[in-house]
Structure 1
Amino acid sequence: MGVHRIWHHGLVPTEGKRPLDALRGRLIARQRQHDDYTVTDLGSSDDGGSRRCDLKFGWTDSRGRYSVQVLLSLCYHAGEDRVAWLLAAACTRPWRSCHEAPAQRIGLEELGASGSDEIPIEAPVLAMRGWSREECDRVAELLGEALVADWRTSAVLVLTEPPTVPVDGWPGLVNVFDVDDRFRRTLNQHVPLGYEVPQGARLYAPLCDQLPDFVETASPVSGEALQGAITRLLQTRGRTPLPEQWAEVPSVKAWYAANPFDAPEREPDAELTEKLGRAERELAEARGVLTILRKKAKAHAEERDRHADEAKALRRRLDDLSAVDVGYLRTQLAQLQGSVDDYARAFEETEAERDELRRVNGLLAGTLARYHDADDEVAAAERPPEEFPSFAELIGAAAATLKHLAITAEPAPAAILDHHPKATAWRRKAWDALRTLDAYASARTTLLDAGQDPGPGLSDVLAFARTGQPGSLISANIIALAESDTVTTNERLRQARTFRVDPRTNPAGRDYFGAHIALERFKAPAPRLHFLDDTDRTGTVYVGYLGAHLPTSKTN
């Protein structure tokens, strides 16, 4: 969409003590009466002894073919009897003589405005026929002086014969005088050679537009030709620099240089900005994960290439040895595979023995700390750990016997684990974890109730296990007191770790369980037991979840 500009300027008589406010008020009131265009008050400013104000108008023609934007700038110098005005207009189509003049549309003629040549713009055509000699002499002298003046910025069309098509001019920019032959001869006496009015029509172009005058001597006068000349003048005006007194006015200069049809900048939507910020944070997080995955992929690729090279070397060696004794090598390979299986079974047995030793160590630590009922404690240490046929029975037993625990975990996630081949081992480890939490809560609350400092060994569950306190049956390596920052700051992942608590702990009835114990470190489903230590307030440790690993940023 192009931008086609025009401008013209002039004077308006002052009225009242505050002429700018009066003119602005009349223009705004007129728009409310007509309502076929819009007006926006752009405000006013003081500059030394003068005041300025700007109004912006806009409309679309009745058929919606083009749009117009207008800036009307008013300037009043203190003590003067007139207000200077500049009208700058822009159109989405090239200006034509058939377009409605902006000065007429916004009602400048109703204010008594005149152009720069002080010719009123209130009438489209000024009829000057049948005047007396005195009237002809007076007006012809004034008009003749204006026609040759270099300060004139509006065009003057003088008709001595009616045109074939009525020509109304362009109020404020093209003023039309319909004169008789007496006035024509009188006017020619007041202009230099080359400026005479012919028998027909002459359009006097302003010197600032650098256009030749249009002369029509044919009879009858061609109205189409006159309209074409006016159209050329309008389109030329868009390339003519602004008058000197208006060219450096900041508001006029900025409006004339910009595209007035551009949509105004909107304030950023707060909700959209928040969503964008969240998306950028998630994108940054995803990029971080992607960087880690790329590093892992690169490491895996290097590992794969290394293995491929080793495989090639082994294949060459195999080819070399296959001629010697393929059967022997196959037997040796089967033996090595059997050794690997034996080592895997031995590793699992060692892990089970390690867990059992940790359990016995916790029981014996309690014995050594108390010195009494030693026989019962040793007997308890020598007994195999409790076996539960299902997680539901394990949770029920814990709720009934472990008095310092509040188990709010839903049974469904734990029940799913019952079908896994390692369920028995997980139940043993879960039972030891629950007993460890209960022993920690009992020891800590006992000291707190007595008004004693629990000390570093009872500062939290991790310290309890790491220092081998009595009743600690699990390794400190499987205890984590918090999730990663990625999980903690992600609302979706944080909600997945929020579970029920007593209102005394949190009036909302729910709280975040970041601390957890790993029943299986790495292999899926990597079950977890999430707990919340509230021994300082209620003397309770909450168990909010027992089941498969909860979602992270790397899982759906």
Structure 2
Amino acid sequence: MGVHRIWHHGLVPVEGKRPLDALRSRLITRQRQHDDYTVTDLGSSDDGGSRRCDLKFAWPGQEDRYSVQVLLSLCYRAGEDRVAWLLAAACTRPWRSCHEAPARRIGLEELGASGSDEIPIEGPVLSMRGWSREECDRVADLLAEALVAPWRTSAVLVLTEPPTEPVEGWPGLVNVFDVDDRFRRTLNSHLPLGCAVPLGARLFVPPCDELPDFVDPASPLAHQALEGAITRFIQTRSRTPLPEEWAEVPSVRAWYAADPFAAPDEEPDAGLTEKLDRVERELAEARGVITILRKKAKAGAEERDRAAHEVKALRCRLEELSAIDVACLQEQLARLQQAVDDYARAFDEMEAERDELRRANGLLAGKLTRYHDAGAEVADAECPPADFPSFADLIGAATATLKHLAITAEPAPTAILDHHPKAAAWRRKAWDALRTLDAYAGARRSLLDAGQDPGPELSDVLAFARTGQPGSLISANIIALAESDTVTTNERLRQARTFRVDPRTNPAGRDYFGAHIALERFKSPAPRLHFLDDTDGTGTVYVGYLGAHLPTSKTN
């Protein structure tokens, strides 16, 4: 008797204070209601940081011609809002698309579970025909991101033509999307050229299975061809190694390597086995409690020693301060605070004057390169910078007039700045910064298109501003071409600075924006404008973010 395996995994929303117990109870209760399969509770374990439990299901298939065994492993890590699951199934016959999906048989879809691509598995076919443009754009963006993601482990079948017979897919392993031609074109605009959906059908196979995508442009679509493509994918999954995060789990590894249909050598005593299992579970739980108590005791001892040290230091400091004239110190503090306020006001005034002079210099330099008479240009330089009633109006004007910029910044973070007392000054500085980026991109692109070397003055935006090139309206001191190593190497902080770009710049449709311009250097919220220089590729400078300072290792 052969063993044919499959696996797939995903996430389940957390329920209550003990999510694993709640999920296990719902699955066992469902089995009692349906009674067309059996379920065995294999127990749980707790290592102090995460809790696991395993359930085993079994049933005969299609008039008892074959048998199915399923292991469902659940893992919950403290503090997370979802439970991770892995479903590993074995069958005595090769898996086919006509077999009932194990996730549907055991009721996993009824728990609100989703696959590894976070697409819900409760619906066999999702129809997207007749959707509005806004719905198409939103869903196509999310679906395209999942299709090109290297971590995707479930297949996606996109149908643009009706097949001769309905195709339901496999819940949890093969998701089916029935789309109209408008949605197909919208989805293709978010995908690389090699991943485009044709008129007909395309089965997007996960990268881990190393199987080419199935593409069928026929009309009408042949039901047998689609079912055959799904069957080939399911049978290929049996040769695909388990995901890295599950491969080293002892219970999963042992079950996946063994023959679940092999009969035991001898039948153990049922009562003794139950008692032994209960003792082992209680022992595992007791060990977990002991581990937690030891960690708490160690942390309590360290906290007590730290508090004792702080008390001793505070007592020494109190004895030192008791000999100081408090009234005299308060008077000195008041004078120093007044001096700080005076210096702060003077700094703001000098910074504003510096920005005005920088702007005038950039305007004059740009105009004098094209005209001999500088009278009108001097008048333009003396005029105040453009003022906008809101950042939304500023971004709208920039999008309409600055042709070398691609502004993909979300409006929500920008709108928050409108309520700050310094919003008007920030809008003027942001406008000058956007015009500087546009002038840089235009100057550099014109030389590249002419086959000329831009030279060191146009090597980047910082050199453009530092050398006072025509159109440079901001100081080089507020430009940074990269973030610190701490931010760049931290995945969470790096993701906070990753924004949308054209697929020609990055096929994934997103890229890291480390370069930024400081609209306010020190005082919170210290707004920043993050940009990405792609003048060597698309000839564009992307503006991916305009808003309060993004998180750093010091702010969280």
Q: TM-score, normalised by structure 1?
A: 0.48
Larger radius of gyration: 1
The TM-score normalised by the length of structure 2 is 0.48
Which structure ranks higher in relative contact order (CA pairs < 8 Å, sequence separation ≥ 6)? 2
